[in-house]
Amino acid sequence: MKTACALFALALVAPAVLPALEDPPPEHVKWMKESGQLQDKIRNGQDVEASAKRMQALYKEVEAFWAKRNSEVALKACREIQAAAAKVAAGDASAGRAIGGGCRTCHDQHREKISDTVYKIK
């Protein structure tokens, strides 16, 4: 009976714990790589408007990811990045620095370096 109760309790807790075990999930890795590529394009003056608009859309997806994890820091950073990207798309090149600032805020809180090429969410 104790084993059955323990298994039942584990089954109830597992859905809440499993997202934390994805470290980081493939979609998050994809978003971050694309984000870096878009930032490079914006910095280099290549397809700035299109890149900034894609950045806005990308960070709506990232925001939904962090909303499920209840991180106010990450949510605020996502919203700041979206706002800065909107300004860049409208022609305000100086707002590009705010994109990087939003990234850094979230990375400082949630990014842990494992090796030169591997990071995990903390």
74 in a domain, yes or no? yes
pLDDT tens digits, residue range 50-73?
999 999 999 999 999 999 999 999
* For residue 24, cis peptide bond before it (omega within 30 degrees of 0): yes
99 in a domain, yes or no? yes
pLDDT of residue 3: 60
pLDDT of residue 19: 47
**Which CATH number covers residue 81?**
1.20.120
How many domains, the chain?
1
72 in a domain, yes or no? yes
13 in a domain, yes or no? no
Contact 97, 83 (CB under 8 A): no
52 in a domain, yes or no? yes
pLDDT in tens, the chain (122 residues): 666 544 444 455 545 444 445 578 999 999 999 999 999 999 999 999 999 999 999 999 999 999 999 999 999 999 999 999 999 999 998 999 999 999 999 999 999 998 998 889 98
pTM: 0.78
71 in a domain, yes or no? yes
1 in a domain, yes or no? no
36 in a domain, yes or no? yes
Domain region containing 97: 20-121
